Chain A
């Protein structure tokens, strides 16, 4: 049987969480993992450790303590400013090999998945991927719930002999918890031995807000004929949710929105995690465009509208009332 670089007899009773940052803030999922990791650590009587590679920590260490970390391992280096898989894998590998934690949790973000996939192979260990629930048994074995077959099947995955027990966790499945800025912890600085040559990935450019790619947007707010020409409110809602705006064919025909945003058989076929569909009747040529969506929410005045049969949640109501109310509610919660 394949052996991990370190095993149960060498493991340290600690849960590590990868603290992912984009230069301005810690990723939401990192905070969620601190919250859930803290519960599991408490259950086992273990330490919760944040692992933070970055150029220079800007208040993130304190934030990690506030969210439950007992300790933060800080790897600072100019080469860690932006995520590159080579640099991050190397510092993480060295840290794990040095400290040998039992469990290592990462967010299932694009970067988290890149990093975890490489690390698991380097450490010859297992990886519970894209988990939707985590628990531990008294022996300290991490049991993860994952889903497959388009969400139709749930599986529990665990590893008995390999360490660290790695898992990537889908963002949004755990609440982030209330920060307590009076909490204190220890900071441990990690040595970093990176050379420019070891980094292969070059970021040629990064452009924000240019061109839309509806097929890749995680959130989609779709307007139909029932929205009239009031797409402004849909843009506002989409912005709050970090998503894009799409439309059925009639608003495109009317010129309320550009053709590139038409969803459907003869428009774009999308696969967002969340689609909020407003004032849309649910014609077949439209619904094929959102059938791969994770969760579909429909708002329509007509309780008989076929869109409700293609939705997970429906509100029978006027979009001109419901959407502004939703925007206000989201602004408050932010």
Chain B
């Protein structure tokens, strides 16, 4: 049995369609929103657990966020993860990607022997996709982003991943330890194992670390550690489909279509 230790970064997010911007204050209103595991992180979980099946070792979950994340993170234990580490402290609040990646990196350092970190492609709330490379930089590890499959050679300490590129794919290899991010929907996450679920939700290990536990420097965490500030917020025109019928002759319609398509990318 190998000692491959994989850490999955899991963020708990509000359901995107249930978040709004309060019209008077222009602040985010997520009070009534249901929370869930960031869906891409479920793909990261599945990848990590399939590596554990193939190579043995263990899977830890790390998450930065408030205490209410705990019950949702237990879902990961019920899927087969071994241990949850929640980095939680009021001082971590207001973090942008710089502070978030610093804090997560401190958590990884405290964990010690980690071979592989697997992240989702991006979160459904902030959606920057900057956490995986930022984390790799703090740790000075190799990175391999947006893979849709991955295998590791535990002996050779290599990770080999495949990712889609326009019109084809490429296979890349990096040395371990490495940070990997997984393309959204590139696998189907296993459902919880009901043999372990009772354990996961009752006893399953959740360790909470605060700023002092991590020996995280105050200037690098939370709001002080975040260069970016949000200077405005607004609700996008509408999340619903626009349902605009393009009128005119075929050539006029097609002209409008081309314009629309250019905008869509």
Chain A complexes with chain B: yes
Q: Which residues of A contact B (CB under 8 A)?
A: 1-4, 85-86, 89, 110, 113-118, 120-122, 124-130, 143, 146-162, 170-172, 200-211, 213, 215-216, 218-219, 241-242, 269, 271, 273-274, 276, 294-297, 303, 308-317, 321-322, 325-326, 329-330, 333
Prevailing SS type, chain A contact patch? mixed
- Residue B129 interfacial (CB < 8 Å): yes
Which chain B residues (115-129) contact chain A, with CB distance < 8 Å? 124-129
For B137, the chain A residues whose CB sits under 8 A away are 89, 117-118, 121-122
Q: How far is the CB of A263 from chain B (nearest CB, A)?
A: 13
Q: How far is the CB of A115 from chain B (nearest CB, A)?
A: 8
- Residue B53 interfacial (CB < 8 Å): no
Q: How far is the CB of B256 from chain A (nearest CB, A)?
A: 8
| Given A121-B138, A201-B173, A127-B233 contact (CB < 8 Å) | no
Q: How far is the CB of A249 from chain B (nearest CB, A)?
A: 20
Contact indicator B258/A330 (Cβ below 8 Å): yes
Please tell me which one of the listed residues A117, A147, A162, A274 contacts residue B97 in the complex, with CB atoms under 8 A apart. Answer: A117
Q: Which residue of A lies closest to B262 (CB)?
A: A172
Count the B residues whose beta carbon is within 8 Å of the partner chain — how many?
Answer: 87
Contact indicator B229/A201 (Cβ below 8 Å): no
CB-based closest 10 A-B pairs? A117-B133, A126-B227, A129-B128, A156-B232, A150-B16, A208-B168, A295-B264, A162-B227, A121-B137, A126-B228
For A276, the chain B residues whose CB sits under 8 A away are 261
Most buried by B among A202, A271, A310: A202
- Residue B148 interfacial (CB < 8 Å): yes
| Given A125-B227, A311-B243, A312-B241, A114-B169 contact (CB < 8 Å) | no
Prevailing SS type, chain B contact patch? mixed
Contact indicator B264/A273 (Cβ below 8 Å): yes
Bits for B152-167, please: 1 = Cβ < 8 Å to A, else 0. Answer: 0000000010011111
For A162, the chain B residues whose CB sits under 8 A away are 227
- Residue B143 interfacial (CB < 8 Å): yes
- Residue B76 interfacial (CB < 8 Å): no
Bits for B71-102, please: 1 = Cβ < 8 Å to A, else 0. Answer: 00000000000000000000000001111011
Contact indicator B97/A161 (Cβ below 8 Å): no
Most buried by A among B28, B137, B174, B224: B137
Q: Which residue of A lies closest to B169 (CB)?
A: A207
Q: How far is the CB of A245 from chain B (nearest CB, A)?
A: 14
For B25, the chain A residues whose CB sits under 8 A away are none
- Residue B255 interfacial (CB < 8 Å): yes
Most buried by B among A149, A154, A161, A209: A149
For A207, the chain B residues whose CB sits under 8 A away are 168-170
Please tell me which one of the listed residues B16, B168, B245, B261 contacts residue A314 in the complex, with CB atoms under 8 A apart. Answer: B245
Please tell me which one of the listed residues A115, A156, A203 contacts residue B233 in the complex, with CB atoms under 8 A apart. Answer: A156
Q: Which of B58-66, B194-202, B246-254 touches A?
A: B246-254
Contact indicator B98/A124 (Cβ below 8 Å): yes
